[in-house]
Amino acid sequence: MIDFAGRTAFVTGGANGVGLGIARALLAEGCKVAIADIRQDSIDKALESFDNQEAMGIKLDVASRTDFPRAADEVEERLGPVSLLFNNAGINLFQTIDDSSFDDWDWVMGVNLHGVINGCMTFAPRMKARGLGGYIVNTASMASFLAAGAPGIYNTTKFAVRGLSESLRYSLASHGIGVSVLCPGLVKSYIYASDAVRPDGLKSEMKAVDSAAVERMEQLHQHGMEPDVIAARVLDGMRENRAHIFPHPEFRDELEELFGEVLADFRDYPQDPGYEQRTGFEKMRRESYRKGREAARSAT
């Protein structure tokens, strides 16, 4: 079981929503916490709300490959080596793939996927080199399992974060570093206002913001799960070293239904040439994957 006290945590998107909830929960466990966010006013407000002073804020565009190591160096110089990483920053664009532009792709992929990649590529090698173990939580979404027409690019990024996290979980297990993917449902957050932080360089092909739609989404998100509730469930998932952290239990039946539909798409075909050799290899691969899952469960 991971011991949180005394560790240094780096939380992206840490100045509001789930990230802020995680930061509060970590501080209560005796962690030192750095909250990274693109909104300086939100960082300032968050820091003012903390009773525990072992916290700092740093302005960061997670999509920037060059800014991430700079932020990491600054945090570690002040708070010590980071051994808890929460790649939580995310945005959304509520439209279909076929109705999107390349600017839309670059923006959403840059934050939701490249932000996670940049965090892992910055901190995972440092954790490995220090040999002190650690933990990485990558925020995906129930949208990493459940796709609809919209939000298409968001679904794409979250499916990718889920796959990235599973692969990373296996490769880091031998270093005593746990990895979980967080898959929340509706959250009380400001993700509906993502357009407010869209870079000017990625606005040339954007559609005019539908203020009425934003207002509707704002009302919907008011009924989302409280960030502090999600944060408590995240820490529980880390203590149990779960591959997936599902804070919203109401999705269980829907996933069971979906997985049933997926399995129903298989067909029993006659054996083709090469079947015996191919399935022999797959038997070895399956056993290797099973052992990998077992090793990952006992990593921390």
Run of H or E residues at 177: strand 177-182
Q: List the single range of 20-29, 105-114, 201-210 with lowest mean pLDDT.
A: 201-210
pLDDT at position 113 over 90: yes
Contact present, 241 and 3 (Cβ < 8 Å): no
Residue 192 pLDDT > 80? no
Mean pLDDT of all residues in 145-150 = 94
- Asked, as a colleague might, if the bond just before 151 is cis with ω within 30 of 0, I would say yes
Closest CA to 298 of 182, 169, 167: 169
Nearest to 161 by CA among 193, 93, 115, 225: 115
Helix axes 17-28, 227-239, angle to 10 degrees: 60
Higher per-residue confidence, 212 vs 290: 290
pLDDT above 90: residue 300: no
Check residue 236 and give its pLDDT: 98
pLDDT of residue 94: 87
What does the mean pLDDT of the chain come to? 94
The Cα–Cα gap between 111 and 154 comes to: 10
pLDDT digit string, tens, across residues 18-30: 999 999 999 999 9
User: Which of 135, 154, 170, 192 is flagged as catalytic?
Assistant: 154
- Continuous H helices in 11-113: 17-28, 40-49, 67-79, 102-112
Place 234 in a pLDDT band, splitting at 50, 70 and 90.
very high
pLDDT for 210 equals 65
What does residue 292 show for φ and ψ, rounded to 5 degrees?
-65, -40
Walk me through the domains of the chain, giving residue ranges and CATH numbers: 8-297 (3.40.50.720)
pLDDT digits (tens, 9 = 90+) for 206-224: 877 666 666 676 677 687 9
Residue 288 has pLDDT above 80, yes or no: yes
- What was the pLDDT predicted at 255? 98
Residue 192 is a catalytic residue: no
pLDDT band at 51 (very low <50, low <70, confident <90, very high): confident
Helix (H, G, I), strand (E, B) or coil at 64: coil
- Tell me, what's the pLDDT at 219? 72
Residue-level pLDDT at 220 = 72
- pTM: predicted TM-score of the whole model, two decimal places: 0.95
